[in-house]
Structure 1
Amino acid sequence: MTSLHLPGAGLLRCGSDPGVMSVDQAHAAMQLHLDCTVDTCRVRRRARAVLVESGRCVLDERALP
């Protein structure tokens, strides 16, 4: 079985926008991309947005644009 058949396979590549994700997927993505920054990783950026929108994550003032 290749990664194309795995649920959440779109969460593996930093440069690919994973699209809509659940809170659970966002949490998994944040763990998978722990060493990435939201500036360079589209997966982590999307995951953080999902977690912030759901109230699961509150950003520090320094992280706001």
Structure 2
Amino acid sequence: MQVTCLHLSGAGLLRCGADPGVMSIAQAHAAMQLHLDCTVDTCRVRRRARAVLVEAGRCVLDERALP
């Protein structure tokens, strides 16, 4: 998958502090790769992307990651 085809700037996926809004599954995967060094505690984009992937059944969280 090429990240450039996902219209990242319009989705607001580049800045950690910005709320990215609604994401597609493809955008969530790209966001997780773009924010690989971020944590869900500090990065709103990674937090939203993880939630999208978990809700879609594409990501299963370890017990340690659950609140």
With normalisation by structure 1, the TM-score equals 0.90
Deviation larger for 6-15 or 27-36:
6-15
One-letter identity of the residue aligned with 2:63: E
Aligned-pair identity in percent equals: 88
**Alignment size in residue pairs:** 60
For residues 1-65 of structure 1, what are the structure 2 equivalents within 5 Å? 7-9=7-9, 10-65=12-67
Aligned equivalent of 2:3: none
C-alpha RMSD of matched pairs (Å): 1.1
Give the distance between the partners of 1:17 and 1:56, measured in 2 at CA.
Answer: 21
Aligned equivalent of 1:3: none
- Give CA-to-partner distance per residue, 1:1-22, whole Å, 9 cap, x none: xxxxx81211000000100000
Query: Which consecutive aligned stretches of 4+ in structure 1 deviate over 4 angstroms post-superposition?
Result: none
- Give CA-to-partner distance per residue, 1:9-63, whole Å, 9 cap, x none: 1100000010000000000000000000000000000000000000000000000
Structure having the higher Rg: 1
